[in-house]
């Protein structure tokens, strides 16, 4: 079985791992220079910060087993079950499932899953056509692990079924700002949901999350605010800096702000099926196929890989 997986986020890597476990010959093609996708970690001023997913949770025993393996390896840790909630009515808190974090950044977890896989980075796939074929190369199946709008850019019009499915997906953008402070001046909190705010949707203490105590906050904006900064995300830095300072009542704003734009940060509407795999042997998986969570992406990718293996066998 020769299978190409396009995308080396957690869904793509999980898909590849399931296929390899089933005996398939798998190549993962990733346009970025590293694995991770939206489990992204970027180095600023010599320190890593998580600029994609804020954390992950577990509910399915299969993914919980993966999380426990990461914990035993020292890659991930149980971080908190309580987050603050900021709204027009004031500040409260919410207690829910345990949120997990990674000292080396969430990207390190995807890199761990990719160990031993044939992953080719800095490789942008141009075209997937019936056959199936990937950039002219004949394979037995193709798995797309990416947001629907990105998949549409590479899918040949002849792949009608999968194009029809992904065309229904709608995605929302977000800006993620890493705010580096000279010192920690905010009240003790780990993270917060921010409701009904013109700029912010979530805020995390990255020093707490990473466990090094660094005076770094990571702010996520709402989609309406992000829509204003399509051409230049960095132009939003001052406004985000001010919003965070005012929200927390800080005596001083961040000294440095780094802004990253995610054009496809999260699906607008969760999908109902765990993945799609049509008669053309071209499938798609990811966090759009269910509640948009890290666990959903892993489960979706794993299920697609198993379904492709079963189909080809």
Q: Sorting pLDDT into bands at 50, 70 and 90, what band is 271? A: confident
Q: How many C-beta atoms surround the C-beta of residue 276 within 10 A? A: 21
**Over residues 208-225, mean pLDDT:** 97
- E strand or H helix at 150: helix 148-154
Radius of gyration of the chain (CA): 20
- Three-state SS for 6-21 is ECCEHHHHHHHHHHHH
* Alpha-helical segments (H) within 168-290: 206-210, 223-226, 237-248
Answer yes or no: are the C-beta atoms of 118 and 140 closer than 8 Å. no
Domain segments of the chain as ranges: 2-45+106-170+270-312, 55-104+171-268
CATH number of the structural domain 55-104+171-268 = 3.90.660.10
Mean pLDDT, the chain, as a whole number? Answer: 96
As a whole number, mean pLDDT of residues 203-219 equals: 97
Quick one: pLDDT at residue 169?
92
Phi, psi torsion values for 33, nearest 5 degrees: -85, 0
Cα distance between residue 224 and residue 241, in whole Å:
17
Give the pTM.
Answer: 0.96
Total Cβ atoms within 10 A of residue 82: 13
Report whether 287 contacts 296 (CB < 8 A). Answer: yes
Residue pair 92/101 in contact by the 8 Å Cβ criterion: no
- Give per-residue pLDDT as tens, 108-147: 999 999 999 999 999 999 999 999 999 999 999 999 999 9
For the chain, the first-to-last Cα distance in angstroms comes to 8
Q: Residue 87: helix, strand or coil by DSSP?
A: strand
* Cis ω for the linkage preceding 132 (within 30 of 0): yes
- Name the pLDDT band for 54 (thresholds 50, 70, 90): very high
List b or e across 195-229, with b for residues whose CB sees 16 or more CB atoms inside 10 angstroms. Answer: eebebbbbbbbbbbbbeeebbbbbbbbbbebbeeb
Q: What is the pLDDT of residue 44?
A: 92
Predicted local distance difference test score (pLDDT) of residue 206: 97
For the segment 159-199, what is each residue's pLDDT rounded down to a tens digit? 999 999 999 999 999 999 999 999 999 988 999 999 999 99
- Whether 99 and 80 have beta carbons less than 8 Å apart is answered as yes
Token pair listed for 67: 């999380």
Tell me what pLDDT residue 163 has.
96
pLDDT tens track for 71-84: 999 999 999 999 99
CB-CB contact of 202 with 209 (8 Å): no
Does 272 score more than 90 pLDDT? no
- State the pLDDT confidence band at 45, using cuts at 50, 70 and 90: confident
**E strands present in the chain:** 2-6, 25-29, 41-44, 47-50, 77-87, 90-101, 119-120, 128-129, 133-134, 137-138, 141-145, 171-180, 191-194, 200-205, 216-221, 256-267, 276-277, 282-285
What does the alpha-carbon distance between residue 304 and residue 179 come to, in Å, rounded to a whole number?
38
Domain covering 2-45+106-170+270-312: architecture: 3-Layer(bba) Sandwich (3.50)
């Amino acid at each position: 079985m020769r299978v190409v997986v396009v995308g080396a986020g957690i869904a793509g890597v999980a898909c590849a791992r399931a296929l390899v476990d089933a005996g398939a010959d798998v190549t993962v093609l990733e346009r970025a220079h590293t694995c991770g996708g939206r489990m992204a970690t970027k180095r600023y001023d010599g320190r890593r910060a998580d600029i994609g997913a804020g954390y992950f949770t577990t509910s399915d025993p299969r993914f919980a087993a993966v999380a426990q393996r990461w914990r035993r390896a020292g890659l991930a840790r149980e971080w908190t079950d309580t987050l603050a909630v900021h709204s027009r009515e004031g500040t409260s808190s919410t207690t829910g499932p345990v949120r997990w974090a990674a000292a080396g950044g969430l990207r390190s977890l995807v890199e761990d899953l990719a160990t031993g896989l044939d992953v080719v980075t800095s490789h942008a796939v141009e075209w997937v056509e019936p056959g199936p074929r990937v950039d002219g190369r004949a394979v037995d199946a193709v798995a797309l692990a990416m947001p629907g709008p990105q998949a549409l850019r590479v899918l040949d019009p002849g792949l009608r079924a999968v194009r029809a499915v992904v065309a229904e997906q709608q995605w929302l953008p977000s800006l993620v700002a890493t705010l580096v402070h000279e010192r920690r001046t905010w009240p003790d909190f780990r993270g917060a949901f921010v409701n009904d705010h013109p700029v912010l949707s979530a805020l995390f203490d990255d020093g707490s999350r990473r466990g090094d105590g660094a005076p770094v906050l990571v702010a996520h904006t709402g989609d309406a605010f992000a829509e204003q900064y399509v051409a230049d995300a960095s132009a939003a830095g001052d406004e985000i800096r001010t919003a965070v300072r005012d929200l927390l009542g800080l005596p001083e704003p961040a000294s440095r702000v780094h802004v990253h734009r995610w054009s496809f940060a999260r699906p607008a509407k969760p999908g109902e099926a765990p993945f799609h795999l049509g008669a053309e042997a071209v499938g798609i998986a990811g966090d759009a196929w269910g509640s948009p969570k890290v666990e959903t992406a892993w489960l979706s990718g794993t299920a697609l890989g198993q379904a492709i293996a079963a189909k080809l066998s």
